[in-house]
Structure 1
Amino acid sequence: MKYELSQKFIFEAAHTLHRTVDAVGSRRIHGHTYHAEITLRGEPSQASGMLQDLGDVRQKIERVRNELDHHFLDEVPNLGPATLENLCKYIYTGLVVHCPDLIAVSVERPSSGDKCVLRMNNLQNSNSN
């Protein structure tokens, strides 16, 4: 049986964004409360009964979260423009080494209704059905 195990976390950050719609406000430094969620998929270990210990997952998340929380995202190395898409990719890249069963990362801004999901379908880390 395959299980999906998720963990949510929140971070606050500021950024600018060069775009053509809402350009004036986007180019000014502004901030958001971001809600992120990662999802692991696989089979629990027979010894522990867990896909991955959530305490361990939280520690790995905290490392990546600390790179983003209360930071100016324009200055975060390897992030690129602070889009929801790039935030999903950044979180995925920072966690997949420690969480090889990682299959999805979502980042949303509930106050504006925006959400992005990066889903890894049938790649090496999803252990094909």
Structure 2
Amino acid sequence: MVYELSQRFYFEAAHTLERDIDVEGSRRIHGHTYHAQVFVRGVPDPRTNMVIDLGHLNQVISTVRAELDHRFLDDVPGLGAATIENLCAFIYRKLEAVIPQVNRVAIERPASGDRCDYIATAAATA
């Protein structure tokens, strides 16, 4: 039987953004509260009966969160432009390097209603 587990976290960060609409406000430093959710999929280990120990998942998420929380995203190495898409991909890459069962990362900005899902299978074919 295959299970999907998830863990949520949030971070506060500022950035600028080059775009064609809302140009002036986007180019100024501004910030958001980002809500992220990480999904892990797999078959439970017969010894532990867990797909992953959620304590281990939380530890790895904490290290990634520390790279983003209360940061100026424009300066985060490996992120690129601070788009919601790049944030999803960045979190996925960081987590997947340690936890290969990660199969999806979602980020929401509730205040503006924006959401992005990075799905591993789609990324592998892109």
Question: Shorter chain as normaliser: what TM range?
Answer: over 0.9
Moved over 6 A (4+): none
TM-score between both structures, scaled by the size of structure 2:
0.95
Q: Percent identity?
A: 55
In structure 2, the partner of 1:5 is 5
Residue identity in the other structure for 2:58: R
Shift in Å at residue 121 of structure 1?
2.2
Q: Does 1:42 align with 2:49?
A: no
CA RMSD of aligned residues (A): 1.4
Secondary structure of the residue aligned to 1:121 is helix
What do residues 59-95 of structure 1 show as CA deviations (whole Å, max 9, x unaligned)?
0000000000000000000100000000001001100
Equivalent pairs, count: 124
Shift in Å at residue 37 of structure 1?
0.6
Residue identity in the other structure for 1:94: K
Q: Does 1:96 align with 2:96?
A: yes
Shift in Å at residue 46 of structure 1?
1.1
Mapping for residues 11-50 of structure 1, pairs under 5 Å: 11-50=11-50
Closer/same/farther in 2, CA of residues 25 and 123 from structure 1, 3 Å limit: closer
Q: Gapped runs of 5+ residues in structure 1?
A: 125-129
Secondary structure of the residue aligned to 1:91 is helix
In structure 1, the partner of 2:71 is 71
TM-score between both structures, scaled by the size of structure 1:
0.93
In structure 2, the partner of 1:54 is 54
In structure 2, the partner of 1:127 is none
Distance across 1 between alignment mates of 2:25 and 2:122: 39
Shift in Å at residue 120 of structure 1?
1.4
In structure 1, the partner of 2:108 is 108
